[in-house]
């Protein structure tokens, strides 16, 4: 069996465990070759640090993509996340157009914000562009904040509760053409996980695990990376979301027990073995 290959289009934040510093180890542990196309290099992520550096990689991205094309590289999946500029929307759209084969899975994590607020470096035009980019995806993985931005409604006006989450994933499915995994969706106070709309079956399904009562930065990136890896290995959407939710729960429990600062993300490295152990 050849090792599957994923093009991962995210920022590289040197400290804080998110985006590429999550996607590369997670996908590697799952037996997948992760080829990073960095959107920006930051000293830390932007959630909870002041004075972070930000090197925009916009000009480099099409040059790297053209080199990959000249090498005739093929990818089983294209997986995008945090973008560094408005211009990168079109660059990632072109990348998908160039590299999408008959069996290529396109996962767009529409990273834009959390807890009802847009991230510091995102402009309204970037958020509008992200919605446009997400139209190319087979699967999107918004949190509730990003779902509101994609739907163009205020966060406070999102439909509430389990039925609300069902309505959200259905509305985000583009009439059933796109799968949606809404993260941070909860069906009971002591549970959390995701609400999934599977475009293959047309079904909506909740995937839940025990809630760890603490928030950590970067859990959306860990979730989407495990989900992408499991989908590349042929898992169903709900099974892939279940594997991702279970891994996050284990990481959150371990991190909460150590009382690490939220901005340092989840202490996932010692738990990567949980991902390698799954028979593929």
Work out how close the CB of 192 gets to ligand PXL at its nearest, in angstroms, rounded to a whole number: 17
Work out how close the CB of 68 gets to ligand PXL at its nearest, in angstroms, rounded to a whole number: 22
Q: How far apart are CA 262 and CA 247, in angstroms?
A: 17
Q: Which of 6, 7, 13, 184 binds ligand PXL (CB under 6 A)?
A: 13
Mapped onto helix, strand or coil, the DSSP state of residue 111 is: coil
Tally of CB atoms within 10 A around 273 = 9
Q: Which is nearer to ligand PXL, 150 or 206 (CB)?
A: 150
Locate the DSSP E strands across the chain.
5-9, 12-15, 33-36, 40-44, 54-56, 77-80, 105-108, 113-114, 117-118, 139-140, 179-185, 191-198, 203-210
Can you name the residues that pair with 40 across neighbouring β-strands?
56
Q: Which of 183, 221, 225, 229 binds ligand PXL (CB under 6 A)?
A: 221
Work out how close the CB of 81 gets to ligand PXL at its nearest, in angstroms, rounded to a whole number: 6
Q: In which element (H, E) is residue 252 found?
A: helix 237-258
Q: Which of 68, 75, 79, 82 binds ligand PXL (CB under 6 A)?
A: 82
User: Quick check: 266 and 251 in contact, CB under 8 A?
Assistant: yes
Q: Which is nearer to ligand PXL, 138 or 221 (CB)?
A: 221
Q: Which is nearer to ligand PXL, 18 or 78 (CB)?
A: 18
Q: Which is nearer to ligand PXL, 46 or 173 (CB)?
A: 46
Q: How many residues bind ligand PXL (CB under 6 A)?
A: 14
Q: Does 45 bind ligand PXL (CB under 6 A)?
A: yes
19-29 and 219-232 helices, crossing angle to 10°: 30
Contact footprint for ligand PXL (CB under 6 A): 11, 13, 18-19, 42, 45-47, 82, 111, 119, 218, 220-221
């Amino acid at each position: 069996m050849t090792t599957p290959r994923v093009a991962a289009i995210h920022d590289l934040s040197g400290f804080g465990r998110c985006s590429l510093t999550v996607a590369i180890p997670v996908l590697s542990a799952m037996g997948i070759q992760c080829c990073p196309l960095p959107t920006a290099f930051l000293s830390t992520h932007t959630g909870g640090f002041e004075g972070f550096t930000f090197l925009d990689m916009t000009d480099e991205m099409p040059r790297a993509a053209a080199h990959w094309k000249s090498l005739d590289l093929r990818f089983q999946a294209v997986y995008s996340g945090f973008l560094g500029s408005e211009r990168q929307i079109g660059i990632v759209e072109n990348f998908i157009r160039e590299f999408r084969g008959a069996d290529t899975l396109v996962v767009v994590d529409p990273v834009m914000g959390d807890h009802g607020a847009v991230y510091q470096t995102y402009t309204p035009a970037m958020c509008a562009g992200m919605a446009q980019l997400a139209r190319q995806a087979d699967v999107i993985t918004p949190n509730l904040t990003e779902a509101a931005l994609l739907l163009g409604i205020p966060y406070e006006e999102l439909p509430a509760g389990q039925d609300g989450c069902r309505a959200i994933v259905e509305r985000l499915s583009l009439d059933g053409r796109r799968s949606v995994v809404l993260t941070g969706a909860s069906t009971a106070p002591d549970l959390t996980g995701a609400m999934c709309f599977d475009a293959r079956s047309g079904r909506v399904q909740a995937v839940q695990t025990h809630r760890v009562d603490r928030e950590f930065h970067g859990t959306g990136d860990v979730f989407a990376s495990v989900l992408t890896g499991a989908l590349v290995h042929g898992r169903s959407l709900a099974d892939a979301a279940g594997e991702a939710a279970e891994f996050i729960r284990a990481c959150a429990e371990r991190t909460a027990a150590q009382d690490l600062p939220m901005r340092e993300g989840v202490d996932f490295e010692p738990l990567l073995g949980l991902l390698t152990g799954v028979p593929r």
